Structure formats: structure tokens, C-alpha cells
Amino acid sequence: MTIGQGIRRADGHSKVTGATLYIDDIQQEHCLHGATVRSKVAHARILSIEKSPDFDWTDITLLTAKDIPGENLVYLMTRDQPALADEWIRHVEEPVALVAAPTRERALEAAKHVIVNIEEKDALLDMELAEHSDIRIFGEDNLFKKIEINRGDTESVAHGRIIEGTYTTGHHEQLYIEPQGMMAIPQEEGGLCIVGSMQCPYYIIKGISELLGAGFEDPDQLQIIQAATGGGFGGKEEYPSMLAAHCALLAVATGAAVKIVYRRDEDLRATTKRHPSRTRIRTRVDDDGRLLSVDVDMLVDGGAYNTLTPVVLSRGVLHATGPYRCENVRILGKAVATHSPPNGAFRGFGAPQAQWASERHMDRIARELGIDPVELRIRNLVEEGDRTATGQRLVSPGGKTVLQAALQAVSDLEDEVRPEHPGGGGVVARRAKGRGLSLVFHGCGFTGNGEARLKGKLAMSLENGKVCIYTGSTEIGQGTDTIFPQIAAEELGIELSLVHMAPHDTELVPDSGPTVASRTAMVVGGVCQKAAKALRTALQEELGLDAPFASLMAMRESKQMLRVEAQYVDDGSLQWDDQTYQGDAYPTYGWSCSIVDLSVDLDTGEVVYERFISATDVGKALNPVLASGQIEGGSLQALGWATSEEVVLNEQGGMENDRLTNYIIPTSLDAPEMHTILVEIPYDGGPFGAKGIGEIPMDGPAAAVAQAIEQATGVVLDDLPMTPERILVAMDERGVS
Amino acid sequence: MTKPEGSYASVGVHTAYDLEQALDFRAQYPEARVLAGGTDLMVEMDLGHIPQSVLNIWPIGELRGIRERPDGLWIGALTTHRELVESLLAEAWAPALIESCRTVGAVQIQNRGTLGGNIANASPAGDTLPVLLALDADVEVASAARGVRSVPMEYLYRGYRAMNIEPDELIIGVRLPEPHSADQTHYRKVGTRLAQAISKVVFGGRVRIVDGVVVESRVAFGSVAATPIRCRGVEEALLGRAVDPQVARLVADDIAPIDDIRSTSGYRGRVAENILRSWLTSLLPAQEEDV
Amino acid sequence: MKIAFQLNGQACEHEVSGMTRLLDLLREECLATGAKEGCGEGECGACTVMIDDRAVCACLVPAIQVAGAEVTTVEGLASTEGLHAIQQAFIDHGAAQCGICTPGFLLMAASMCASSEPVEAGDVREALAGNLCRCTGYQKIVEAVVEVVVNDKA
């Protein structure tokens, strides 16, 4: 029995001994190093690119857009983003040229000596101005995507009290501790092997399949191998395709292996971030605070290229009401282009932005009506049979359960002696304590028809008494390489030690879909369970015996590999219309309640986290240690987003604070003690009842922090991050000190 | 690999094994950057500022140690912040200094960063510097030509990252006067987070109260001016009477905080006043809590 | 310039030029890639190693300064008898997720074990604050370190 056990992770021994090899650890003979020449301005026409005469170029290769053998395109959803800027620069840090050199230091030096002659143009940097601006970046109106969701008729609701608010969030950096890195190795037989830090090996094949021209028409010419990856959180979902494009171009041009590993400052400036958002919510409520109508206007900034912005907007609007019931809903979402570095995936993917707004709005309603914010939520929380804004009927919604579990934990821990948190200033410091709560939900897996279109695959084999699992879903710390063997071992009834994972190498593994969207355990894990069943059936057929897999495996004499492949099949139970945005948006939802205890220093506006409690419905915790680890990690990322993680923009729309000394993520001292409650309301569509859990930890904590700050000081903050500077100004305005 | 053509590899290194050798090198190569624990210099180099040459003084044993002398507590310039944190002697003499050492970066930085280095780096944000000002520390410098001289901390900095010491001089130690039984000291750092942080405002303070009257006062701040500074107006206003927390309002006249990537001048000014007021309030005899 | 030092208990000698970082010497010459470069500025602690049982950031140490010293990296924590207690505790508590920060934390904890300074549970978070982790929220890391450094050592 391995499911539900806190099995030690499969790669644990390797990680604690330093044996795990990340891309920069991998030695490759005769490897060149690449570096990227990037634009220093947001919008310009490129006139020419030259080598500075003050540099020795003898051992350096320089590539620009005109050297690209195929299509100058890194493809994800649209055909708009080039690997290297050609005539136009559309954002600061946009790659303009590439260099390769024998050492990394030489490559970085060479890149500094490439002269890019430009004609600077006016840049559009304000997302509020994008749609009606004369400056065109994308399409006719700079709209990457517009989505409208309508339920009932908000116009017809004329009674009740109007409550309005505007809520904003800034950029947010994933800050994986391993910077992005990739290496492209030309193969003797032709083709390229690309190894690196990534979440989605198959995205790279799709991303650069047209880039390399002659000799690369067949996608099989590209072999992508995921190296051990030091964190991703979405930041290594699509950006690695750009980095792979650069390595590949240099490798093809030089005929040599080429590695590019970003320094931290380049990674911070140049790679994707969470989309900034501005959400206006206008609700009508009755005297008890019940929602009569909800009107949401959500705007997100996609940056200069499409990347996967429409999908972020989609998830954002689908979570815009929060887990609350309302018959009359209108949601209008827009994602626009600006001349800033493209934004991309980061845990939560639109839902954290949406529920920052919806939870703050619930607090606004509570405040204006004088109702307790927890009581208000209970009154509006969806229940069995309620429908979402897209008309989806909710089955076993876990909102009430997680709320009760979290409140129970607070009560159980009431006598807990919490260590006096230093927080600076010792006994002289003046502090006010506060407690805040938030309630969120999160759709698991891809929206609507996503999985049906994807048809993710997974293979499994039996050879020499060992079972091997082949999947394009990657291990990025969350535990894929541990839970998939658990699923297989459980289904087959064999020892966990007999099950292994094949390396995530596209030559060995099928496309299971990307490692994103809280789908790996629930969807791909389900395909894994399916494959295990198929393997058992295949073995039974091979031996002509109907017996348990374990005994058949012991009996089997053949040296031949027995291999099966399983695929996700849409069972037709979900109905979704992409045009009207009506129907079953997600197969199921996770639910989470966060309760944070903090104190605000009245002299400095600093927030000190003292304790964090979360109760999350995970369906079934396949591995409770891994599950709670994901929740703890995601929650702390959200606490950092709440009060310290700010991307400071310069005049070109780029990241000014591009050093870890100035982009502030929590240390162990900043982090609170965390109590993580795993609630299990099984989902019968997931393996052993499991739901997706990767992203939901990001959705709730920030709003709970805002509520706690309000309780402690009375100040109301609706914009993230709530830095000490902003808190102090707000306290001064309120006369608190 | 470690080949000579990269810029780190091409920096000239002179290593001194004793003080005499170091001072000779200092006279001979005044342009060489002094390298102690490297926690500041290596960060500068990572930012792209590669020196032509360095003078490595790390091996010099005589610049280490914490010991009582007739004229006070002597702390060798190469004493690391962590050594200070672990020193019971230093804790007894200057608990505020030890507190400041605990907030320099994190343990890894404290194990290599030295008190002399913190002083010589001359950052307006240096964590130990306001405390050294509050304690009336003397900085001992030496040269081959002129021997040892003492520079009171309050006269050490003449401008942004500029010290009143000669190019051939080397900081060799710090002397702290003996603490007075009526002295109360305080240290407070407000950083970008609770640890591993650069200060937005950093404070070192000392008052000597005799028969309810302030007879000596030191109010020093970092990160609110081009150098760490003493707030003379505030110090004056405190003298000769009972502790008056309202005097904190006067700090605005003594400081010149700026907007930068970490914070705003408004925030720094407000916080400086607030933390000073709270400290002074804590000194009031048997008063009510006003949280 | 040739420098001689001990690496994980073995004597070694390497040619070092100028201000070459200890991190690069370890990773490129000694092929000890356990210490990682997360930031190059001494903020993240992923490059933490021990020099004479003191935890330091190898990205900030000029390699010439380890002449005559004992350097310990993650590769040197285990012995012939098995894993170091802190390595086992990390496995048992699930304190590693992506693993990139893990070697740095292990060296920091090992230095706390090696030191005669007493450590209380309430001190552990401050002691670890020079090692950044983005995956775990630190909860299980702190639990593992408390078990070994506070409880076992006591």
C-alpha cells in the first residue's frame, strides 16, 4: 500500500549527496558558451548590427536574425515571437543577436561589444492605454484576447446596495533558485540533442521546429532531454523554448555543442513574469451581504508577444467571482499588448490575480455592511448543486469543509506557545497583531476541451522483472518521479522498488502534455493508472493466465520488453463551449482556506508573519509529504507576493531590481511556522481520488494577509505588493501610530 | 576552466603574511584594492567592477583578536562579524555592536565579513557603523611611513564612500572605550526583510542618564545620508534634561534620506523618527505601554 | 599560483590565477558540482561550503584564500559508514524538492553540527536565513535541521 503514504522521494538520496546533475553540472567536451545581445530600449527599429573594433573577434561567432536558416519564430500559440529581433525591437531585453565563444566569460564580454544601431520610437508601456493607442503592437487593437462570460442578467438587478472596488497586482518573478540553462549538441547522424532546465520537453520541439531550416524538417531530428531542473513554477514552461532556440541556432552555425546558462541578473530581466492585473468589481448585495449581481472588468498586461497570455486570461476570468454563488454575473476580461518583456506562466496563472480581487472585494462588502468577513463568506459560499458563472454544476464543493478545517485548526492551536519572533527592534518595537482569512477555489487541469484536444500519452513497460514508466511529464521538485511509481505500484500490487521512471527524453517518452495547470497528478497520473491496467492485461494475455500481476511477473521468463501505451480519452462527461464560455470549465476544483497570523510594526510598516494555517482539499493525497510540501512552498511564494516581492520597473519597462539583493523573497526567518491540513474529498476522475494541487496554494494567502493587516491597523490595501512603504503611508493617512 | 585570459583570473594579487609586509605593499601599491574576507569586493566584481590588483591581507594573524587593553577593548580589523557574535567579551563590552554583527547579511557572510571591512567599505548602509559612532569608537590605522594613529569614528568619513585615511594607510583595528554603568545602548535595523538584507534605515544609540538627566547622548543613523551620521541636533536637544521622546521630531533636520531602488526618502525619514521615538520612550521610567 | 588545501579530507593542489572564485575552482577543476551558482552575489547560499568547519558562500571566496584550509562540500558529507545525519534527516522529512538549494542547506546545517556553539530550536530559522529556498516554504527544512542540530546534538 503506497498511495496515501509519505514515501521518501525517489531522487532524495541523489539530491542530498550532490549526485543530481543540473544543466550547469553536465560536462560536455568541446562545448562553446553562448551569450545574448539584448535591446536596451523598449521600442525601436534596428538599422544595423556591428562588431565593435575594440574587441578581438577571432574565436567568436556572431548571429543575427538574417543568419537564421529557417523561420525566425519561436512558436507556442501564435506566430508572432521571433527568436531574434529582425527589423523591430518590441521590448527592452528583446534578444537581438547571439554570440558563441570558448568560455562563458568571453561570450559575455563579446556580447557587450556588439553594437546595435537603432532608431528609437515611442513605447506603449501603460496597459490601460493599450487598446485605444495609436501605437500598434499586436493585431488591430493590441488585444491578445477578450473574453466575456455572462450568466443571468446583471442589468436587470436594480435593488440592493452597490459596492465597487478596484484591485491591482504587479509583476511577480518565479525566482527558481536554478537560473535558466540549456545546451544544444549536434549529433553525428544529423539533428540536435537539446538538454536543459525545463518543464515541457515537447513544447521545445513544437517551439523551434521551423527555426532551423534544411535538415530539420522532421521533428525527430530534435531530441529534447530534461536535465534535473531546479525549480520552475511556470517560469520554465515556455521560456526554455526561446533559450533552446538560441542554443540550437549557435550549435547549427558552429557545428559545436553550445551551452547557455543565464546569470541571475539576465534571468531576472529577460524571462517571463506573472501578468500584472487591474480588476474592477461592482456588485449589488442585499442587507445580509448576499451577492445579487457581480460585474467584473479584468485587464492583464501580456507584454510584447502573445506567449500564452490568452490562457492566463481564461483562467483569470473563470476564477473571477471566487467560490461564491451568484445568479447574475458579467465578466469581461481583456489581455493587452505593451512594449514590455512578455509575461508568462507562474503558478496560479491568472487565478491568483482574480482571487486577490474577489477576496478583497468580499472584505469590502463586509466592511461597508459591517458584517464579519468570515460570516459573509459562509453566506455566499457555493454549495452542492450550485452553478458557476459558466453554468457548471458543482459536485461536492469543498469550500465549507476547508473553512471548517482551518477554523478548527486555529481553535486547536489556540494554546500553542508561538516563539517570540525577533522581527527587529526587540522589546522596543511597537506591534499590532492581526489575523486574516481567505477562501479560494482552483480549477484542476486544462480548461474545457484542453485535455480532450491534447490526448496526453504515457507508456509503461515490463522487462527483467522491473516496470518502467515513460512520460513527458517532468519532475521539477513537485514529486512526479515519486508519485507515478506509487500509482503504478499500487495499481499493479507490486513493490515500489520495482518501478522506475525513464529519463524525460523525447526519444524515450511520449508527449503527456505539459507539466502545468495542476494536471500532472490528476490527469497524467490517471493515464499512468490506465497504463498500469493495460500492462496487467497485456501480461495476462501474454501468459494466457488471469492472475495478479505480481505473480505473473515472477513467472515471466521472456527477455523481451512488454510495452503498452495509454492515452487520455475524453469520456464526454464535460460539456464546454469555447465561443460562449459556457459549460464545464474544469473537470473538478480544488478548495483552500488560508488563515494567517501576523503583526504589523507600527513604526516601520513591516509585516512579520507569525503563523500560517491552510486547509486544502486535495481529493486524495497520493503522498502527503509531497502534497504538504507543495502547499507550504506555494503559500510562502504567495506571502512574498503579498508584502515584499516587487518588480521595480525602469523607464523602458524593464526590471530595475535585477539582483537577488533587491528582489526580496522570504528567508527562513521571514517565513512563518506553517500548519498544513490536507482535506480529502475524493474526485472519481483522478487516480485514487486525487485532484490537482500545484497551483491553488498561490491563490489565497495574499488576501488573507490584507485582511490581517486591516484587522491589525485598520488600513485597507487593495494593491499588491503591500510593502512597508505603502503600509506606513496608509497608516499615517489613517492616523494610526 | 581556470585559464588566465578571463578577467577574474587576470587580477594581480599581492598577499601579505604579516602587518609589516602589508604596510610595505600598501605604500608600494596604493591603487591595489585591499582584500580581507571578500564579501564586499567580490560582489563589486560580480557587478562588473574588476580591479587591476588586490592586496590580500587575509592571512595576517596579528590583525585578529578581541582583547582588553588599558585604553579599552581592542578588536582586530580582520575579526569577523561571526567571531564578534561568538565573543562573550565583546558581548559584555558592546552588546549593541554584537547585535549589529548578527544582522550583517546572514551567517555565511558573517563568517567572512570583517569589522575592518565593514568600516573600509564605507557604505552609508553599513550595519555596524552607527553603533561604532554611538560607542565613540576609534579606528586605528597604520602606515609604514608614519606608524599607528587613531581616527575617531565621527571623523572617519568625509563623504560618500570616502574616508579620511591616506592611500598608504591600512585599518588595523577598532578601540572601544570602557562602557559606563549608566549607559544604555540600542541597535535597530530596518531592512528589506528580516535577514540577509540591506538596511533601509539603521540606528545606533546611546544615552547616559544620571539622576534622571541625560548627561551624554549619541544618536547615529545609517542609510539616511551619504555617510553614517550622528544627529547632532537631536543629541543636543536630549542633553541636560529628562528623556524626551518628542525630540525625535528633530531628526529630520539632521538627515538627508533619498529615494532609491529599495525605499523612499519619505519612508526613511518617517522610520528614522519613529524608531528613535520608540527607543526614547522605552527609556522613560515606569511608564504606561502605548501600543 | 599553486595552492594546496584539503578537499573533503583529501589533500589536493591546484593552479589558481588571480581572483578566481572558489566556486569555479570547485566546480570546474575539482569537478565537485554539488555547490551551485544561484546568484553569484552571496544572497542565495546555494554555493555554501565549509572552510575549516565555517559555512561560507563559495561565490564570494577568492580561491587563493583556501590555501592550507580544509574545505568541505556536499560530496564530503557522507562517510564510509553512511550518510551524514543531516542528509538522512532531509530524506526522512521530505526537505528536498527540486534539490538545487539542498547542498547549501546541508553544509550550513553540518557547520552547526560541527560547531560547539549551542543551538536552540528558536535560533534555527535565523541560522538558515542565508540559504534561500523557493520550493519548500522552509517548513520541512527547519524540522529536519531542528531534529539533527538541536535534538540529536543536545
pLDDT band at B4 (very low <50, low <70, confident <90, very high): very low
Together in a domain, B65 and B172: yes
Number of domains making up chain B? 3
Cα B41 to Cα B284: distance, rounded to the nearest angstrom? 43
Task: Please answer yes or no on whether A603 and B267 come within 8 Å at the CB atom.
Answer: no
Distances in Å between the Cα of B89 and the Cα atoms of A285, B66, B207, C121 are 66, 8, 22, 25
Looking from the CA of A535 toward its CB, the CA atoms found within 13 Å total 34
Together in a domain, B136 and B161: yes
Which segments in chain C show pLDDT lower than 70?
153-154
Inform me whether the C-beta atom of residue B250 falls under 8 Å from chain A C-beta atoms.
no
Q: Which of C41, C54, C117 sits opposite B46 (nearest CB)?
A: C41
Is B4 contained in some domain?
no
Q: Give me the interface pTM, i.e. the ipTM.
A: 0.98
Residues of chain C contacting B, Cβ within 8 Å:
1, 14-21, 24-25, 28-29, 40-43, 45, 48, 54-57, 59-65, 108, 117, 126-127, 129-132
Beta bridge partners of B214: B209
Task: Please answer yes or no on whether B35 and C62 come within 8 Å at the CB atom.
Answer: yes
The angle formed by the CA atoms of residues A456, A442 and A686, to the nearest 5 degrees, is 45
Dump pLDDT digits (tens) for B165-189: 999 999 999 999 999 999 999 999 9
- Contact (CB, 8 A) for B151 and B139: yes
Residue C64 CB burial class (10 angstroms; 0-12, 13-18, ≥19): buried
Map residue C2 onto helix, strand or coil: strand
CA nearest C24: which of A19, B3, A175? Answer: B3
Together in a domain, B99 and B161: yes
Is B67 contained in some domain?
yes
Question: What is C85-152's CATH number, 3.10.129.10, 3.40.50.300, 3.40.50.1980, 1.10.150.120?
Answer: 1.10.150.120
pLDDT recorded at residue C152: 76
Identify from A29, A427, A662, A725 which residue to disrupt to test chain B contact, counting B C-beta atoms within 10 A and taking the largest count.
Answer: A725
Cα A226 to Cα C151: distance, rounded to the nearest angstrom? 39
Q: Which of A230, A263, A629 sits opposite C100 (nearest CB)?
A: A230
Distances in Å between the Cα of C120 and the Cα atoms of B194, C89, C127 are 19, 17, 10
Together in a domain, B96 and B141: yes
Residue C108, C-alpha cell as written in the block? 550550513
pLDDT recorded at residue B200: 98
Task: Please answer yes or no on whether A669 and B195 come within 8 Å at the CB atom.
Answer: yes
Task: Please answer yes or no on whether B279 and A428 come within 8 Å at the CB atom.
Answer: yes
Q: What are phi and psi of B223, to 5 degrees?
A: 70, 15
- The overall longest dimension of chain C from CA atoms, in Å, is 44
pLDDT recorded at residue A426: 78
Residue B4, C-alpha cell as written in the block? 588566465
The residue written with cell numbers 493587452 in the block is A336
Strands C48-51 and C70-72: antiparallel
DSSP letter (8 states) at residue A343: P
Cα A556 to Cα A547: distance, rounded to the nearest angstrom? 12
Nearest CA in chain C to B109: C56
Is B38 contained in some domain?
yes
CATH classification code of A127-173+275-346: 3.30.365.10
Cα A658 to Cα A13: distance, rounded to the nearest angstrom? 34
The residue written with cell numbers 503600509 in the block is A727
Portions of chain C given CATH number 1.10.150.120: 85-152
Q: Do A28-121+180-261 and A127-173+275-346 agree at the fold level?
A: no
CA nearest A273: which of A701, A586, A658, A726? Answer: A658
The residue written with cell numbers 505500484 in the block is A489
> B1 pLDDT exceeds 50?
no
Q: What are phi and psi of A143, to 5 degrees?
A: -95, 115
Task: State the DSSP string of A111-158.
Answer: HHTEEEEEEE------GGGSTT-S--SSTTTSEEEEEEEEES-GGG--
Together in a domain, B170 and B272: no
Together in a domain, B40 and B98: no
Strands A181-186 and A192-196: antiparallel
pLDDT recorded at residue B289: 46
Portions of chain C given CATH number 3.10.20.30: 2-76
Cα A480 to Cα A612: distance, rounded to the nearest angstrom? 26
Domain extent listing, chain A: 28-121+180-261, 127-173+275-346, 396-415+428-447+583-734, 449-567
- Contact (CB, 8 A) for A615 and A592: yes
pLDDT along chain A (737 residues), means of 10: 96 98 96 98 98 97 98 97 98 98 96 98 98 96 98 96 98 98 96 98 97 92 98 98 98 98 98 98 98 98 98 98 98 98 98 98 98 98 97 97 98 81 77 97 94 96 97 98 98 98 98 97 98 98 96 95 97 92 97 97 97 98 98 98 98 98 98 98 97 98 98 98 98 85
Inform me whether the C-beta atom of residue B196 falls under 8 Å from chain C C-beta atoms.
yes
> B291 pLDDT exceeds 60?
no
Together in a domain, B24 and B38: yes
B211 φ/ψ sector (left φ>0, alpha ψ -120 to 50, else beta): left
CATH 3.30.365.10 fits A449-567, yes or no: yes
Task: Note which residues in 174-203 of chain B have CB less than 8 A from chain A.
Answer: 186, 188-198, 201
Shortest Cα distance, chain B CAs vs residue C1, angstroms: 10
Chain C residues inside the 8 Å CB shell of A669:
125-126, 128-129
pLDDT recorded at residue B286: 64
Cα B9 to Cα A88: distance, rounded to the nearest angstrom? 38
Task: State the DSSP string of A436-459.
Answer: EEEEEEEEESSSTTHHHHH--EEE
Cα C69 to Cα A257: distance, rounded to the nearest angstrom? 37
Inform me whether the C-beta atom of residue B91 falls under 8 Å from chain C C-beta atoms.
no
Task: Please answer yes or no on whether A18 and C74 come within 8 Å at the CB atom.
Answer: yes
pLDDT recorded at residue A449: 87
* Contacting subunits of C (3+ beta carbon pairs below 8 A): A, B
Question: What is A396-415+428-447+583-734's CATH number, 3.30.70.420, 3.50.50.60, 3.30.420.480, 3.30.365.10?
Answer: 3.30.365.10
Shortest Cα distance, chain C CAs vs residue B4, angstroms: 6
Map residue B173 onto helix, strand or coil: strand
CA nearest A513: which of A523, A505, A503? Answer: A523
Beta bridge partners of B114: B80
Dump pLDDT digits (tens) for A103-158: 999 999 999 999 999 999 999 999 999 999 999 999 999 999 999 999 999 999 99
Range of the domain at B223: 183-282
Map residue A483 onto helix, strand or coil: helix
CATH classification code of C2-76: 3.10.20.30
Question: What is A28-121+180-261's CATH number, 3.20.20.120, 3.40.50.620, 3.40.50.300, 3.90.1170.50?
Answer: 3.90.1170.50
